[in-house]
Each structure stands twice: as C-alpha cells, then as structure tokens.
Chain A
Amino acid sequence: SQQGEEDPQALSIQEGENATMNCSYKTSINNLQWYRQNSGRGLVHLILIRSNEREKHSGRLRVTLDTSKKSSSLLITASRAADTASYFCAMFSGSRLTFGEGTQLTVNP
C-alpha cells in the first residue's frame, strides 16, 4: 500500500530561518500535495506538484519532486512564528489521497 514517510518527525528553528521537510513514498503517484494542520484542526492545502513536474513555488514555499527516488521536499523560507504547525505530504494515486506521518514544525520567536 502507499505509505509516506516524512523526516524529520520534529523540527525546531528560529524565526527567519529556513525549514526543510522531506517525504518519501513507495508506489507511483499522479501528484503529491503538502498540507498544514494547526493543533488538531482541519488541514489547509499548501501546494500540489504533478508527477511530470520537478519543482514548484508558491510564495515562501518551494516544493521539489524526484519521481525516480520517490521523494519530495518542502522548503519554507524566512519562517515566522505563525508557521508553527504539523506539515503532511500526501500522495494521490488510485483516486485516493494517502498522507505521510507528518513533521511537527516549531518556529521560535
């Protein structure tokens, strides 16, 4: 089955620093998405990258996808305290979205 692993499990940085989270998956995908979740609330979609794309940008977010290595990374530049949240990668395949284990990001003011 499609399972996603993320590392690190937890990341603590200072405001202004960059944060990088990595995601690996097992089977082929149509696209890979990143979501943010604040403290047990609903998830917010951040960015979607299709399997034929290698890099995508949205504001302070940069996502890369390497389908040969079955991996993706999310870079948040110039982090802010408000970026503190859990971040999940999610692989879309077989009409379903499967989430990775998540990275808990803490940005200290």
Chain B
Amino acid sequence: DTEVTQTPKHLVMGMTNKKSLKCEQHMGHRAMYWYKQKAKKPPELMFVYSYEKLSINESVPSRFSPECPNSSLLNLHLHALQPEDSALYLCASSQIDMGLSGNEQFFGPGTRLTVL
C-alpha cells in the first residue's frame, strides 16, 4: 500500500467553526508533513512530525493545530480561520533518513478548504 489518504476532499467552513483534516498512511513511514498550497503557487511547508513528535513548525498561526495520534495518522485541527486560509492542504509522508539527507515524500490528494 503506497497511498496516503486524506479526508474530507472538500471542506467549507465559517470563521467561527472548528473542523479537522485527517491524513492516513500505512507505509510504515515515521515522518509526516502538512503543506498549504494556494492556487498557482507551490506547496509551503507547515509542520513536520518525526516519530510522532512535532519537529518543525514553520511559524504557523495557532489557529492551526496539528496532532499525530499514532504512526499512521496525522490530523490538522482548524479553529477561527480567516478567508485567506482558503487553500489546498496537502499531507505527505516519508521514511526517516537517519543521515538527514532526505527521502522522497508521498503526497495525499489534498483537502480543498474554503473559509467563508
């Protein structure tokens, strides 16, 4: 199984709502990532989890709250978002390279988020 799944595919939420994005992989990868992608722009890294621990937070506003309950699951909790947060949210996973030289990342299809 070389697939990363994300739910939901589409999400529309108001600025006062609380919602969660979910990501799952069963490739045994111990690194998982959240990216944000605006239209016609490249993905931008938000968070990195290594061995279920948050290792990188790219100064993301606290209205985005990541969680890694186990080695297969990654969540992104959303609260009090702004319209400018509307984007495609991509999850990815990879093996951890102990030499820190980096490995290929496997991406999910993304969740298209619209904040009204």
Using a CB–CB cutoff of 8 Å, the interface residues on chain A facing chain B are 4, 30-31, 33, 35, 40-45, 48, 50, 88, 92, 95-102
User: Beta-carbon contacts of B4-17 to A below 8 Å, as 1s and 0s?
Assistant: 10000000000000
Using a CB–CB cutoff of 8 Å, the interface residues on chain B facing chain A are 4, 33, 39, 41-45, 48, 55-56, 58, 88, 90, 92, 100-110, 112
Among candidates A41, A44, A95, A102, residue contacting B48 with C-beta atoms closer than 8 Å: A95
**Contacting pair B108 A42 (CB below 8 A):** yes
Among candidates B4, B39, B42, B90, residue contacting A100 with C-beta atoms closer than 8 Å: B42
**Contacting pair A40 B112 (CB below 8 A):** yes
**Contacting pair A43 B43 (CB below 8 A):** yes
Known pairs A40-B110, A96-B48. 9 more at Cβ < 8 A?
Answer: A40-B39, A40-B88, A42-B4, A43-B90, A95-B56, A95-B102, A96-B58, A97-B33, A101-B41
Residues on A with C-beta less than 8 A from B103 are 48
- DSSP majority for the A interface? strand
**Contacting pair B110 A41 (CB below 8 A):** yes
Name the distance in Å between A51's Cβ and chain B's nearest Cβ. 8
In the bound complex, how far is the Cα of B104 from the Cα of A35, in angstroms? Answer: 10
